[in-house]
Amino acid sequence: MFQQWAADNGYAVLEINEESHLIDNSKFCVTIKDAKKISPTYPLRFRFRNCEICYQDFDITLGGFGYRCMTCRKFAEDVKQNK
Size of the site for Zn ion (CB under 5 A): 5
DSSP letter, residue 13: S
**Residue with Cβ nearer Zn ion (1 or 54):** 54
Q: Considering only CA atoms, which of 37, 27, 77 is closest in space to residue 57?
A: 27
Q: Which stretch binds Zn ion (CB under 5 A): 2-10, 21-29, 32-40, 69-77?
A: 69-77
17 three-class SS: coil
Taking the complex as a whole, the smallest distance from the CB of residue 22 to Zn ion amounts, in Å, to 19
CB 68 within 8 A of CB 51: yes
Site for Zn ion contains 77 (CB under 5 A): no
